[in-house]
Chain A
Amino acid sequence: MSIIEVTNLTKYYGKARGIIDVTFNVDEGEIFGFIGPNGAGKSTTIRLLLSLIHPTSGSAKVFGQDVVAYGPQIRRDIGYLPSEVYYYEGMKVSDLLKYSASFYECDCMPRMHELSEIMELEMHRRISDLSYGNKKKVGIVQGLLHSPKLLFLDEPTAGLDPLMQRKFFDLIRQENTRGVTVFFSSHILGEVQRLCSRVGIIREGKIAEISDIKTLQQNNYKKVRVEAMGLTPTDFQLPGVTNLQVEDSTVHFFFKGDINSVVQKISGLQVSDVSIEEPTLEEIFMHYYE
């Protein structure tokens, strides 16, 4: 069952582009990575799904219900950690968390204390006295304390030290094994690679690619390096070759398609070294952004 169904969703802010014709699904229990550089439309998509903003056209459903018509009901089971965390400055951490819990029909206190302990949160301090990283921890606890079924994480790790990042990822994995669906937006590929099963890549407001992270790495592109005397770029002008670079006697390129055509080409050359490998996600990603 799809937890999130987004259909031709478009958002313009006046004339400025938000997202254009975005369509994707997120299934129950998966961790869906949403990658793209700043300004690509990641936050816009999340804000549309939370009905903080309204779509220009297209529609989105969460838990099978339209986000515009059933916003409040849907949000009962959503946890949201924004990229920038801002809370009522004058409040104490514990008061803010209690205020947050008061919106849900559960006894969230035990979970709240459990989470605060994991994240080493100092409950008695004022929000205004907290560092950015500590505010982020407050964000994590308030996003999880009501045991949501769907989590929106918008660049969640910014401001967290590596130790806390690891605790956070463990927490997200635990939630996921409980059956929680996670929508994970980020521009840091390493963390997406670590956590997600499927990714959507968004670029200038449009979806560039949606696939399994493994397919993205294995089946799509090969990174080919050929070292041979007297090579010219024209030797590898084959369909499917991109990013062709020549340095001295070495040629680098990405290849997508039937690898045999490259192998045949190479077999006709007097090569001194050849490597064909999986590109890192980083390289794939850069490739989408050229």
Chain B
Amino acid sequence: MSANIYLHELRARLKSVITWSLSVMLLVIFFLSIFPSFSEQAALMNEMLAKFPPQLLAAFGMGNINLADMLGYYGFLFIFIQLCLSIQASNYGFGLVSIEESELTADFLLSKPVSRWQVMNSKLLAALTSLGITDLVVWLVSLICILLVRGSHAYEPRILLLLFASIVLFQLFFLSIGLVISLLVRRVRSVTPYALGLGFGAYVLNAFSGMLGDVKLELVTPFRHFDPHYIVSHAAYDTPLVLINVAVSVVALVASYWLYIHRDIPAVS
């Protein structure tokens, strides 16, 4: 790890971290601020939801949830937090080394006396720090808002902790998958379409697997590995799926290191 690369990366990503953190913060504040008025009419709402076809509800992540419950409601909102975080993490993953190559600064960096191993360590740590900052914001804002709006509604701190902790692994998945894909393709010209594709793709896959029922698509998407409704209703993770998630992330990371260390840096052409 080289401190100078780490700091350089952090600085380069500062604006993006602030933007993402603010966006997620506003999302949380907005959704949770309407909870009090929402929960009053939740009985009506639940009644109405019951009339929708279950497949449709599943597609929107609204199957068997109780919106009148504090954490049931937060779980519903949590999917949107996850969606944001997945795009952010994918973005950092895809861009981690590919931006240096598409903006042609890789020559500068790699002709310095640092090993690829050190470069990757520093860049990964910087990306994880950036994601961690966003996590801190999500945690703090969520906690504060829940405490402010819950009123007489009870919530189970243990479940909230499980939800909070889940986003770290959730982000790691998208970061490492984005990274390994960026190293497998010849050249990533623009990071954003890839990141949106991966984030939304994983989300839609989860939604579809809800609609299609039997198809085991959910095995590959972290939106199912860390399905907030499962966590809220079971007060636990779906352990096998979480293990799959971690295994995939680790394999992708190891592969990324290998690919990067053996990579031919494309020349300016």
Contacts and interface: CB of A to CB of B under 8 A. Distances in A.
Interface in B63-106: 103-106
B108 A53 contact: no
Contacts of B118: 72
Contact of B262 (A54, A103, A142): A54
Interface in A58-110: 71-76, 78, 80, 82-84, 86-90, 99-100, 102-104
B156 interface: no
Interface of B: prevailing SS: loop
Nearest to B115: A72
A142 B108 CA distance: 9
A52 B104 contact: no
Interface in B203-230: none
Contacts of A83: 268
A116 to B, nearest CB: 17
Contacts of A103: 2, 4, 112-114
Given A72-B115, A73-B113, A76-B113, A84 B268 contact: yes
B262 to A, nearest CB: 7
A13 interface: yes
A19 interface: no
Nearest to A13: B264
A76 B267 CA distance: 22
Nearest to B106: A52
Given A43-B267, A53-B265, A75 B105 contact: no
A81 to B, nearest CB: 10
User: What is the interface of chain A mostly: helix, strand, loop, or mixed?
Assistant: loop
Contact of B104 (A73, A86, A102): A86
Given A43-B267, A47-B267, A83-B268, A78 B105 contact: no
A101 to B, nearest CB: 9
B141 to A, nearest CB: 29
B107 interface: yes
B12 interface: yes
B168 interface: no
Interface in A104-130: 104
B105 A80 contact: no
Contact of A86 (B8, B107, B112): B107
B157 to A, nearest CB: 42
B110 interface: yes
A50 interface: yes
A103 B5 CA distance: 9
Given A53-B264, A86-B268, A72 B114 contact: yes
**9 tightest Cβ-Cβ pairs between the two chains A and B:** A86-B104, A53-B264, A103-B112, A102-B4, A76-B113, A75-B113, A84-B268, A80-B111, A52-B265
24 contacts: A44-B267, A50-B110, A50-B111, A51-B110, A52-B106, A52-B107, A53-B264, A53-B265, A71-B115, A73-B113, A75-B111, A75-B113, A75-B114, A80-B107, A82-B107, A82-B111, A86-B104, A86-B105, A90-B12, A99-B8, A100-B108, A102-B4, A103-B4, A104-B113
